Amino acid sequence: MVDVTLRIRRYNPEHATQKKPYWEEFTLKNCDPTDRILDLLHRIKWEQDGTLAMRRSCAHGVCGSDAVRINGRNRLACKVLINELGAESQAHIKVQVEPILGLPIQKDLIVDMEPFFAHYREVMPFFINDEPVPANGRERLQTKEDRAKFDDTTKCILCACCTTSCPSFWANGKYVGPAAIVQAHRFIFDTRDKGAQERINILAEPNGVWRCRTIFNCTPACPREIEVTKAIGEVKLAIQKNSPDGIIKITEIKEVVFSS
């Protein structure tokens, strides 16, 4: 068993003395090394301070709602075990928890996700195909090879870990951010989708994909292990291959990117 002190970034705009962010520490005794950070936050809320505000839902790394900064790194509180943070070699450890960066803080660990989802909506994250259903009445099929081109980016759970770990997003909130580009990638390279050209045009704008400086913060931040920087690079290449005079069609871009 191990004792854990959680240093949590607190903020309550409705409280007379808590209108500026401040740090508060809570100590929990006899924690199991396999306890998750989310378990510890629950204990604090249920046993010590019921005013602690945080966002969580499935607690299984699927919903993405409990994204926070743990010891300076964006992670899901439900996926990080105490023993990953040094509990195996220490009897008492300190863990720092704060809200993800780049989005307005509403209270304690809860941030306003609307700017993030606004960028998500900008890239039209939905399937577009107005062509008639195949004559055989079956779904639109594609090869395993075509599916593999965008399989990685279908794993996104919209937790915002990648976008809020990006210095370019911190500096300019108008940047669509890695998560939106990942969502666009998923459809741009889907051979069944017919809206790729529109997404390419959106991401070619000043606040689109070119604000990425290839810092690589996004890839290690992803709890689903998506190769975010690689996906962004493939979208950049697709835009480069899309000549202004329209000679290279979007269907050809899909082939060029994965054959180069």
- CATH number for the domain harbouring residue 250: 1.10.1060.10
What H or E segment, with its residue span, contains residue 142? none
For residues 106 and 120, state if they share a domain. Answer: no
Domain end marker among 54, 81, 110 = 110
The per-residue pLDDT for range 160-184, each reduced to its tens digit, is 999 999 999 999 999 999 999 999 9
Query: What are the start-end ranges of the H helices in 106-210?
Result: 114-122, 144-148, 167-171, 178-188, 196-203
Question: Per residue in 18-30, is it b (16+ CB within 10 Å) or e — as a string?
Answer: beeeeeeebebee
Residues paired with 129 in a beta bridge:
none
Q: What is the CA radius of gyration of the chain?
A: 21
Percent of the chain with pLDDT over 90: 78
Q: Closest Cα to residue 108, out of 7, 179, 223? A: 7
Q: In this structure, are residues 98 and 161 in contact, taking their beta carbons and an 8 Å threshold? A: no
- Domain of 154 in residue numbering reads as 113-259
Task: Tell me how far apart the terminal alpha carbons of the chain are, to the nearest angstrom.
Answer: 53
217 Cβ partners below 8 Å, 6+ apart? Answer: 162, 165, 166, 167
Q: In this structure, are residues 78 and 70 in contact, taking their beta carbons and an 8 Å threshold? A: no
For residues 86 and 61, state if they share a domain. Answer: yes
Q: How confident is the model at residue 150 (pLDDT cuts 50, 70, 90)?
A: very high
Domain end marker among 110, 131, 163 = 110
pLDDT at 255 over 70: no
pLDDT at 133 over 90: no
Domain end marker among 47, 76, 110 = 110
For residues 178 and 222, state if they share a domain. Answer: yes
For residues 229 and 124, state if they share a domain. Answer: yes
For residues 128 and 97, state if they share a domain. Answer: no
User: Could you tell me the pTM of the whole model?
Assistant: 0.87
For residues 163 and 184, state if they share a domain. Answer: yes
CA distance 213 to 24: 35
Q: In this structure, are residues 120 and 185 in contact, taking their beta carbons and an 8 Å threshold? A: no
For residues 74 and 195, state if they share a domain. Answer: no
Task: Tally the domains of the chain.
Answer: 2
pLDDT of residue 245: 44
Q: Percent helix, strand, coil in the chain (nearest 5)?
A: 35, 15, 50
Q: In this structure, are residues 258 and 149 in contact, taking their beta carbons and an 8 Å threshold? A: yes
For residues 149 and 247, state if they share a domain. Answer: yes
Dig out the tokens for 204 from the structure: 């070619």
Q: Closest Cα to residue 146, out of 198, 195, 186, 202? A: 186
Phi, psi dihedrals of residue 108, rounded to the nearest 5°: 50, -115
Q: How confident is the model at residue 1 (pLDDT cuts 50, 70, 90)?
A: confident
CATH of the domain at 69: 3.10.20.30
Q: In this structure, are residues 221 and 161 in contact, taking their beta carbons and an 8 Å threshold? A: yes
